[in-house]
Structure 1
């Protein structure tokens, strides 16, 4: 296998890791801008088409901690390669003209790509140390954000020219290229012991979350008091509660669980976790509302009828502002301490939704809302590590951050499904658009207020 004994090899290995993070980010983002087009091409309701986004997010939520445990030591290379193979299979499946069902199944397989970026970070930790490691981790972090930022406009432009199948075929080419690079340059990892995986816990969490999201997304069509809605929603809640009890019991007995839930309610950790859920839900609420307003034809009282390519470009100002906000977070932490990071981030993000509700008569106004959302979202997400890590023991760091990552993906999934459900529930017109955005803004404000009331032991930066 390739080693790090030469400068050329090290550069090739870093290029491979960067390709994995960028390409999986691009492919994972092949959802939100395409939802209205999928609904039109497949002749399905918007709530059904939204599952091309929700399915990938749900899969990423559950698979990330599982692959994080599987991909340790000597298993890291085969797990990464297998993950790329699954993503490639999913993009090919979604590209084929097989209907909405196989397309959603393919998107779920593509969601595995969300779990590969953390493994790429772990490979970098094996290859470099000291300042070189910090530099490469920073570049990979930017590559992760850039991948999603590139995915929206590029995939939307391809879909505008070649259709939905063409967009996913383009994704398959990118994943195939990254896989070839990984086969050639991805190194073997140290021969450490493999971490056991809580298969029961993962099954309970995935099935339970799926039931809840089905009830939320399809409740308007099935009827909120209909048997399928109640069975899916009630069963999902029960399974999630069973997962909580199962995980706590396994941890109490000293057995590894998917995540250590005891850490979630610890002082200094609970506020970041609560804000993660709120901002994640609102983030995909903002994404969905922006895409809908840009592509809507105005017949419902709102819409710019600007096309899928323009809606794809909407993530560019979000990605740029999100990267810039990382620096803002560091300046705030050093100047006034870390306690204000979450409340300010929530208020800024909430204001992005209010801007969109007040001004959505031109494309530049939606881009402005996305830029403000990038500042708020980046400010909160970039603060999580500096807020959580000081409040947990060294051996608990991985579990604490894994749980926060899990909450992020689950929040994305809920936000993706709930936003369309709210639009339909509120009536689908301009008033429904405003009511849905206002609901998301209120979630941000409440989360910010709770974070402000939380007194963390790390209220001042060091």
Structure 2
């Protein structure tokens, strides 16, 4: 739900705080960057006996951040609040570790599958609610929903979250955390800033190369560190490496189509296409995405033993491919993008729920949070790349304000190619544990 407090509110934040849309965009960007950095750090801290305290501190920071978004403070404090909210995006991987430690194998598998699709469910609920609250009572009321939810989550954790099993305390690799905190935001920023690629491509390439070199250096540092932030050696296992590669390419296609559809339905019909939906109406379009994604998450544990990880990932990717093809060939009536995003939601939900099965099958129980935090970071990079790819393609087909309809077709067919490549990767790479 906290994740849905970004994109739908950008315009309202600009109007309320008297800032530009580019500045308002940072309320989304800073939360995503904070989450990308915090996820592996808190994943490591939560791997030992301090997990309950780590979770409570994360939720406490989210409550404080949510409070800063509600009270009338300068825009800079709003950004601080959004960063504190974003730091809690790594909670999902810690909850997976809780499930694996405290539930039997069958219930843990079902719970982890559901945890994998909580983001999908939160978007479908949060987008229309945020849009409605903003239209009725202003942006701070929508942020108030975030405060209510984070306070409820903090109370639930305080009362119900069990202590972690007695293990040696996890030591934080400070050097690795600092290097990652520089390299990863640089990578995500340069990927997501489509204007930088069109206005100053040389600078964009330079920043991208610098970020990649820093990440390579970080990888070597982690391999030589006695207590690394992320156990890179786990990535040497063919199944884990293959799963993360599939997550990267699959994430590009999934978020590309998600961003295309949400932008398309809000385009004014006077342009010659689109349906001119407002924020609340566009949020309702996402409800099928959320509902079918949650349904897929419920079904995956039942299919796992019958189909196996490879076939599950292939089938879910095929749903994403079908959604791309539908959007590419039919989008003149509102029902067609709605059906496409529903099919996409089912594919994303099944894909997200099947991914932990591959990784955790070969991961030691104590390394659950760390291994899944790496996968979460890979997903963030894939999603950012998909969003940027969509923006660049549409920008290339724009002459005035809105892109030509052909831009959406071109982006959709490129998404078909990316998703088909993901299917090919799933078919040839080793995804089964040895």
Question: Taking structure 1 as the reference length, what is the TM-score of the superposition?
Answer: 0.79
Name 1:358's counterpart in structure 2. Answer: 329
**CA RMSD, aligned part only?**
3.4
Q: Aligned runs of 1:128-143 on 2, under 5 Å?
A: none
For 1:130 and 1:216, the matched residues in 2 are separated by 39
Rate the CA distance shift 1:135–1:358 in 2: closer, same or farther, 3 A. Answer: closer
Per the alignment, residue 18 of structure 1 pairs with: none
Unaligned runs of at least 5 residues, structure 2: none
Tell me, yes or no, if the aligned pair for 1:70 and 1:195 is still in contact at 8 Å. yes
Q: Which residue of 1 aligns with 2:135?
A: 160
Paired residues for 1:94-173 under 5 Å: 94-95=69-70, 102-123=77-98, 145-173=120-148
Q: Note the C-alpha offset of 1:331.
A: 5.9
The answer for the alignment partner of 1:86 in structure 2 is 61
Asked if the contact 1:58–1:409 (Cα under 8 Å) also holds between the matched residues in 2, the reply is no
Cα shift at 1:51: 4.2
Q: Is the 8 A contact 2:117 2:352 kept in 1?
A: no
Whether contact under 8 Å (1:32, 1:291) holds in the other structure is no
Contact (CA 8 Å) 2:10, 2:25: kept in 1 or not? yes
Task: Please point out which of 375, 383, 404 is paired with 1:412.
Answer: 383
Distance 1:94 1:232, change over 3 A: farther
Q: Does 1:256 align with 2:231?
A: no
State how many pairs are aligned: 429
List alignment gaps of at least 5 residues for structure 1.
1-25
- Assess, with a 3 A threshold, how the Cα gap between structure 1 residues 390 and 189 changes in structure 2: closer, same or farther: closer
Aligned ranges 1:24-423 → 2 under 5 Å: 26-35=1-10, 37-38=12-13, 44-45=20-21, 49-95=24-70, 102-123=77-98, 145-189=120-164, 192-220=167-195, 222=196, 224=198, 226=200, 230-231=202-203, 233-251=205-223, 253=224, 255-264=226-235, 266-326=237-297, 329-330=300-301, 333-391=304-362, 399-423=370-394
How many Å apart are 1:116 and its aligned residue? 1.8
The answer to whether the Cα contact below 8 Å between 2:117 and 2:349 also exists between their aligned partners in 1 is no
Q: CA deviation at 1:329?
A: 4.2
Q: How far 1:276 sits from its partner (Å)? A: 0.7
Say whether the 8 Å CA contact 1:50–1:420 is kept in structure 2. no
In structure 1, distance between residues paired with 2:127 and 2:187: 27
C-alpha change, 1:48 and 1:125, in structure 2 (3 Å) is: same
